[in-house]
Amino acid sequence: MLRWLIGGGREPQGSAEKSSVQTIGEEQIQNPYTELLVLKGHQDIVRFLVQIDDCRFASAGDDGIVFLWNAQTGEKLYELHGHTHKITAIAPFSSSDVTEEKTDFIITASADRTVIVWDCASGRQVQKVSCFHSTVKCLTVLQRLNVWLSGGSDLCVWNQNLDLLCKTSHLTDAGISTLVELPKNCVAAAVGKELIIFRLSASNNGSEVWNILEVKRLVDHQDNISSLISVNGSYIGELIVWDALDWTKQASECNFWDSSVHPDVQTEIKLSQSPHESSVQHLTSDDECVFAAVGKGIYVYNLQMKRVIACQRTAHDSSVLHIEKLPNRQLISCSEDGSVRIWELREKQQLPAEPVPTGFFNMWGFGRANKQANQAAKKMQENTPVYFLDLVGDLIGHSSAVQMFLYFGELGLATCSADHLIILWKDGERESSLRSLTLFQKLAQNGDLQLKL
Amino acid sequence: MISAPDVVAFTREEELEDDLYREPPLPEEYSVPLFPFSGQGANPWAKVAGSKFTRDFILISEFSEQVGPQPLLTIPDDAKVSGTFDLNYFSLRIMSVDYQASFVGHPPGSAYPKLNFVEDSKVVLGDSKEGAFAYVHHLTLYDLEARGFVRPFCMAYISADEHKIMQQFQELSTEFSKASECLKTGNRKAFANELEKKLKDLDYTRTVLHNETEQQKKANDKGYYTTQAIEKANELASVEKSIIEHQDLLRQIRSYPYRKLKDSEFHPYEPDCALDRADVGSDQNPTASDPTELGETHLYTHVPSYTPKLIKAKSAKCFDKKLKTLEELCDVYFFTQTLDQLHHIERTFRGDVCYLLTEQISRALLKQQSVTNFLFEDVSVLDEKPPEKQYRGCQGLGQDAIDEKCSEESLAPKVVISLGSYKSSVECVPIKMEQETEDSEEPKMSESVISEHQENLDYLDADIKGSISSGESIEVLGTEKSGSGLTKSESQASLPVIPSPQAGRSKVGSRRTVSEDSIEVLSTCPSESLIPEDFKASYPSAINEEPYADDDEGGLRFTPRANPGVDDGQDDISKEESLVQVDAACCIGKESPNFLEALPELGQKPCEEDGVVRIPPQPYRPAEQGLRGGFPSHHGLPGGLLPCELDSRYLTGSREVSKSSLDECSDSTSHISSAASTCSDRTPSPAHPACAAGERHRKRAGQNALRFIRQYPFAHPAIYSLLSGRTLVVLGEDEAMVKRLVTALSIFVPNCGAYAKPVKHWVTSALHLVDFQKWKLIGLQRAVSPAGVNVLHALSRYSRYLSILDADSKTLRCPLYKGTVVARLADHRTQIKRGSTYYMHVQSILTQLCSKAFLFTFCHHLHLPISEREPEESVVNRRMNFLKHQLGLANEDIKIVQYLAELLKLHYIQEPGQGGNPLLRFDYVPSFLYKI
């Protein structure tokens, strides 16, 4: 898509209509990011960004190197070499020892079948485990229990000293693709099309004996599970599983209040859209809603209403890879097309007389009771506010797919991309006043500043 | 660039004189241009009559032991240049004033010949008959075959303009010292090689002789020695002695660097190209000796394989042998380097002295603007050498010591000729930001001062001995070792010093002080005695009472802590002035009506009483007292002192300097440098090698820019893009055309740091985000190939960061501009014709912008709340208010100043060591397409 050609029209609006991707002009009043810093260092696709603390983050990617960055200054803090293959998972892990001093670690897993624990303060490798039979594909830290789990072809539980506490038997060759922590010491692991729920139990005699038990297998998915989240807040214990490809969404409330699990599948929403080669790429949630990146689009599913309340079918020119909800009702998404977009979930002010825009929910078919559900949805729609996602800004900087981003609140936004770069997007106004502050601090420090009032 | 030489010439008649006459009655002398040939031609710029050559040139002569003084070569190497000027005669003249005691040979009490490492001597002489004045730089080179191993040479810069020689003495001295050092380095190398060869020869000869003697001994069984054998033995003995002597010589020449390193003034020749750095030692710092030692010794060990020859006992007669040429003496490489340097000197000092002076003054002023000068100036020119070095040293000297010296020295009055000397206001306005470094340097420097002083005493004898009188029409107007006015300025930036009245009075003594070392005034031509005249002329008020009590405490030093404006105290006064206003406005919270009045002064020219040439275009006019009234405590000095004093310093003609103000600082400096005859390395070199090239570039860029603004009606938004930090891409098929446009526009691009301008003249590949961080002006190839499509794709993708000037279809796509600054900067109806003039016009407006940005950046309350409870909005309001009303900026001009301010902040905050991440700032503003 070429929105603007040299010497061409004044505004790119005309051509934008055709591509049906919502575009925003060059004037973006609400877009706070007016300054950027390019962080160079990686030599291959940067796939992961994890936040370590308020002002540090780590990046990792296919070059097997982990970089630690200062999110404020963009300064490269450490360059961690240790892995020989690409990094497949990364997780931050902070442990407080006896002296209550918090130490930050990061755990990285790589395709070289090793897991390394790094000390973020010194940039040194703390420990390295290389006893895996297969690549560890996911890492989850259970901060509460002070253990972390690695998921590959089997699930292992480790404590912070890297002692293997227990492990499951060999699950599949494909291995665990995602892990998520559930209440009551449970974890859900996505293994292929199955979702397996494990329970972790420490033996009660105080000795460090851990057990991991498989408690439930959920087999409703038609295809591989690619993303898994646990919704907290008011819906404790609820697990929502979005499936890929077959466009089913399962909202399965798994109550773990007692050991018997009732996997009552209450709704299953099927997307009736013709199946492109798109799938649910990423999920995120807040107290009310689940936000799903499906193909090129973004969908907002309200948990209370149990329906999709807003969607943007083609939010990007190509697949959305990562989305995240900001505290201020904004949503950020990044995509393979190299752009990052900022959306705001707004309530649509609708005149009652105005006909309901058909087509907005038409694409949603309800799997089992298609007709009734559809009608029900329409009914509901009449007395509930309608939401829509409004594009408030876009960030164009990467020349290749933006793999992931990390929102640092005031400090800005870090994006990583397949073009080997990490970009720190910052609020120019804020940075400018910060620099002024630094300037006058430096003046005072040098003794140059003596105001005579 | 602050000054504009061609403006100087024309302003004199109107404003300057007007202002001049408004001043209290001027002494008669001031009304007449102090021009030596004013009787003959009214126009001081007219070519000086009486000289037989058309332009300045450099002459290298040798005092040949065979034929006496002879000219070797001239630079430029053009017969037309010297014209009918008698080079032979002049060579004789200049060689005959070499008064150094260069003694080489067997000193009494020493068994071996001793190499004397002679310092260069620097003399100014004038030949009134020929109308020629010359700076003469004597040096000695070593030649194994020469008498006493030495060959005296001299390099002379010959000009018809006496003032040029006088006023540029320091600069000439610096530049010639470099050339000389280059020659001498090469010569030492060649000499060492020669010695080694000779040693090998001798060694071989000894072996041969030894064998012969042995054979004779064996053959001879008669028990007594034949005469032949005795002869052989004698020969052998003399060869042995010769070997020892030569070894000693070799040791001496090799130890030269080590020995010299003890002298703080030693500065090994530093080749310009990095290639040779390893060979010749690159460290300028005299105390850091290691690289130099290594370099020099390494240099000598590089001896190609050599087959020794048998040396005959009797050497050839003196006149039989052919003396080595200069080229042979100094190694071809070094010889060409020297020639390059001399050519550079010739280029640098070409032209009228007023150009040189304004150039130097503006450079010195710019150097002081350490906070803002990086924005639009070529910092590499400014940065060349830190001139503060020696100056710091003087500061380090205790006040007491200085006073003592003054009183001591003033006991011996003597007439000294004043040579052109400059004093920068750097001296007067200590830079607070550098205080720390200054402190750290102090002890070291004072040490060196002392040692130099002692050494000077050692040299004293020689100096006096050496000053000989010359032919009747030659006046040696001064040597480096003698002129106090001259020497004091060695380390300082080149601004002419004005004798402020009180300074004059107190300095007369101190000026005389140094002169007791040597008698340099060899004026034998009474008619040409310029000196007394000068005295009279510039010293009407030498006996004034000093009105400024503060002078005792260091002349015009600001107290180190001043307000944020002064903290970078190198800004010119007008800025400080304005800053005061601003401070008032923003700190006290009410708007100062004066402020707006103060601003227009930025462009004002000063008026001073002296001659035409030496009025630098000072962007300053003494401000009304009232303006400063509110800030009595500003610098801890009476407000009125600043302008007058500074002004006078800036403006003084250099001839007056002799009697002029040597305050403590400069005085001690003079003391130092009077001792160090060759410590030219510390002098600021105002003439940068890049100068000439830079000049040409400026002219071309100015012309192109002029053409651009006349040709393109949308020049304003394009320039606005550059000034506000939005990358401008010039897109076109024709490389030459694109490059021309880029060159034209490059003068509007602010620098992001102390590096080269962020300008890329020609790119053929697709642009990335990183490029916009690095470059603010890019010439881009438009190609029809698939790659070209990619290039366009990238452009459209990143169009929000870019302004695009399509050179082929003559369109511009960029944000709207409605401000006023650029209109003044690039008026398509401008009457300016010449590129260089337009360049200066641009620079002056950019300088104004810089000063605004400076004010904006360093006003505390514009960026930070006054009290903790103050909401952010009111700060923002205040900021916008300031920009709009105080700085008088409209619309988009605000963004320009904000961008410049951001650059200033970044530059100031940045730690010197780390480069810092380049930022890309941008706005989400709509672009428009402009067509012709």
B718-736 confidence digits (pLDDT tens): 999 999 989 999 999 888 9
Nearest CB to A443: which of B564, B795, B799?
B564
Q: What percentage of chain B carries pLDDT values higher than 90?
A: 4
Residue A439 has its nearest CB partner, among B566, B798, B909, at B909
Please give the biggest Cα pair distance in chain A. Answer: 79
Among the partner-chain residues A5, A25, A437, the one whose CB lies closest to the CB of B796 is A5
Minimum distance, in Å, between the CA of residue A306 and any CA atom of chain B: 38
Q: What 3-state class would DSSP assign to B349?
A: helix
CA torsion sign for B757, B758, B764, B765 is: positive
What integer pLDDT is reported at residue B319 of this predicted model? Answer: 52
Q: Do A7 and B432 count as a contact with CB atoms less than 8 A apart?
A: no
Per-residue confidence (pLDDT) for residue B99, from 0 to 100 = 52
- Site from A448, A450, A453 to mutate, B interface, most B CB atoms within 10 angstroms: A448
**Which residue of A421, A447, A451 is in closest CB contact with B587?**
A451
**Four-residue CA torsion sign, B641, B643, B646, B650:** negative
Confidence of residue A119 (pLDDT cuts 50, 70, 90): confident
Give the residue on A whose Cα is nearest the Cα of B768: A399
**How does pLDDT run across B597-611, given as a tens digit for each residue?**
333 333 333 433 333
Mutate to test the interface with A, among B726, B919, B932 (most CBs of A within 10 A): B919
Stretch B804-822: mean pLDDT: 90
Q: Which of residues 422-441 of A touch B (CB under 8 A)?
A: 423, 428, 431-433, 435-440
Of B139-143, B252-256, B453-457, which gets the smallest average pLDDT? Answer: B453-457
Domain ranges in chain B are 57-102+110-218+229-256+320-351, 695-931
Residue A447 has pLDDT above 60, yes or no: yes
Strand A364-366 relative to strand A264-271, pairing:
antiparallel
Binary contact (B922, A35; C-beta < 8 A) = yes
Question: Contacts by B287-293 with C-beta closer than 8 Å and gap 24+?
Answer: B287/B444, B289/B258, B289/B261, B292/B257, B292/B261, B292/B268, B293/B257, B293/B258, B293/B261
Two tokens, residue A419: 């073009």
- Nearest partner of B575 among B895, B857, B864, B821, judged by Cα: B857
State residue B1's pLDDT score.
Answer: 46
Tell me which of A15, A33, A439, A441 to substitute to probe the interface with B (most B C-beta atoms closer than 10 Å): A439
Task: Say whether pLDDT at A248 is over 50.
Answer: no
Say which DSSP state B100 is in: -
Q: How many angstroms separate the CA atoms of B927 and B924, rounded?
A: 9
Question: CA end-to-end span of chain A, whole Å?
Answer: 60
* The predicted structure's pLDDT at residue B778: 92
Residues of A in Cβ contact (< 8 Å) with B858: 439, 443
Average pLDDT over residues A365-392: 55
DSSP string, B492-527: S---BPP--HHHHHHHHHHHHHHHTT--------GG
The Cα–Cα gap between B892 and A270 comes to 53
Complex confidence, ipTM: 0.79
The strand pair at B727-732 and B802-806 is best described as: parallel
- Farthest CA pair distance, chain B: 118
Instruction: Give the pLDDT score at B917.
Output: 62
Q: Which residue has the higher pLDDT, B621 or B221?
A: B221
Provide the sign of the torsion angle of the four alpha carbons A387, A388, A390, A394, taken in this order.
positive
Q: Taking residues A166-182, what's their average pLDDT?
A: 73
pLDDT of residue A72: 85
Using an 8 Å CB-CB cutoff, list chain A residues near B436: 446
CA A24 to chain centre: 24
Count of C-beta atoms within a 10 Å radius of residue A445: 10
Pairing of β B727-732 and β B474-479: unpaired
SS3 A156: strand
Among candidates B435, B588, B926 on the partner chain, residue whose Cβ is nearest the Cβ of A27:
B926
DSSP class of residue B14 equals I
Chain B residues with CB under 8 Å of A34 CB are 921-924
CA atoms within 13 A on the CB side of B315: 12
Nearest by CB to B926, from A25, A421, A446: name it.
A25
Whether B905 sits inside 8 A of A436 (CB atoms) is yes
One DSSP character per residue, B183-225 reads HHHHHHHHHHHHHHHHHHHHHHHHHHHHHHHHHHHHH--SSS-
Q: Which of B344, B620, B312, B679 lies closest to B495 in space, CA to CA?
A: B620
Euclidean distance between CA atoms A325 and B399, whole angstroms: 68
Residue A394, min C-alpha distance to chain B (Å): 10
CB–CB contact B770 A4 (8 Å): no
CB < 8 Å to A41, chain B:
none
**What's chain B's average pLDDT?**
64
* A138-142 sheet: strands from edge to edge: A138-142, A147-151, A155-159, A164-167
Between these two residues, A340 and B568, which has the higher pLDDT value?
Answer: A340
Q: How far apart are CA A448 and CA B862, in angstroms?
A: 18
Here the tokens at position B44 are 């001081």
Cross-chain residue pair B864–A440, CB shorter than 8 Å: yes
A418 neighbourhood in chain B, CB within 8 Å: none
pLDDT average, residue stretch A306-322: 82
Q: What is the pLDDT of residues B106-149, one digit of tens each?
A: 445 555 666 666 677 888 888 777 778 888 888 888 888 887 78
Torsion angle (degrees, nearest 10) of CA B830, B833, B834, B835: 40
Put simply, the answer to whether A40 touches B924 (Cβ < 8 Å) is no
pTM value? 0.62
Q: Which of chain A's residues have a Cβ under 8 Å away from the Cβ of B773?
A: 38
Q: Please list every residue in chain B whose beta carbon sits closer than 8 Å to the beta carbon of residue A19.
A: none
Contacts of residue A72 in chain B, CB cutoff 8 Å? none
For residue A147, give both structure tokens: 């253990």
Provide the token pair at B401. Answer: 């010591």
Q: Tell which of B863, B897, B903 to mutate to test the A interface (max A CBs under 10 Å).
A: B863
Interface subset of A 299-358, CB within 8 angstroms of B:
none
Highest mean pLDDT among A116-130, B379-393, B667-681: A116-130
Least confident of A90-104, A327-341, B28-42, B861-875: B28-42
Q: Does A444 touch chain B (CB under 8 A)?
A: no
Q: Check CB contact of A19 with chain B, cutoff 8 Å.
A: no
Q: Before B918, cis peptide (omega within 30)?
A: no
Least confident of B248-257, B801-810, B908-917: B908-917
pLDDT of residue A20: 62
* CA distance linking residue B748 with residue B777, whole number of Å: 10
Best residue in B909, B923, B925, B932 for a mutation probing chain A (most A CBs within 10 Å): B909
SS3 state of residue B435:
helix
For the ranges B27-31, B182-186, B546-550, the lowest mean pLDDT is seen at B546-550
> Which among A432, A447, A453 is the nearest to B587, CB-wise?
A453
Query: Which one is predicted more confidently, A134 or B584?
Result: A134
Question: What average pLDDT is seen over chain A?
Answer: 71
Distance from A136 to chain B by nearest Cα, in Å? 35
Q: How confident is the model at residue B425 (pLDDT cuts 50, 70, 90)?
A: very low
Q: Contact, A283 vs A290, CB < 8 A? A: yes
In chain B, what residues touch A449 (CB-CB under 8 Å)? 561, 563-564, 567, 860
Closest CB from A4, A432, A438 relative to B902:
A432
Q: Which of residues 379-418 of A touch B (CB under 8 A)?
A: 393, 396-399
DSSP-assigned letter for residue A23: -
Selecting from B567, B797, B924 the residue whose C-beta is nearest the C-beta of A449 gives: B567
Q: B908 and A442: CB-CB below 8 Å?
A: yes
A334-338, A361-365, B223-227, B856-860: which has the minimum mean pLDDT?
A361-365
- At residue B89, does pLDDT exceed 70? yes
What number is the average pLDDT over the span B763-774?
A: 86
Question: How many degrees, rounded to 5, is the angle at CA B301 between CA B296 and CA B305?
Answer: 150
Is pLDDT above 60 for B395? no
Tokens of A58: 């780590």
pLDDT, position B33: 53
Whether the CB-CB separation of B920 and B727 falls below 8 Å is answered with no
Do the Cβ atoms of B5 and B695 come closer than 8 Å?
Answer: no
Q: Is the pLDDT of residue A379 over 70?
A: no
Most confident among B73-82, B221-230, B232-241 (mean pLDDT): B232-241
Residue A226: predicted pLDDT: 58
Measured between its terminal Cα atoms, the distance across chain B in Å is: 32
Give SS3 for B856.
Answer: helix
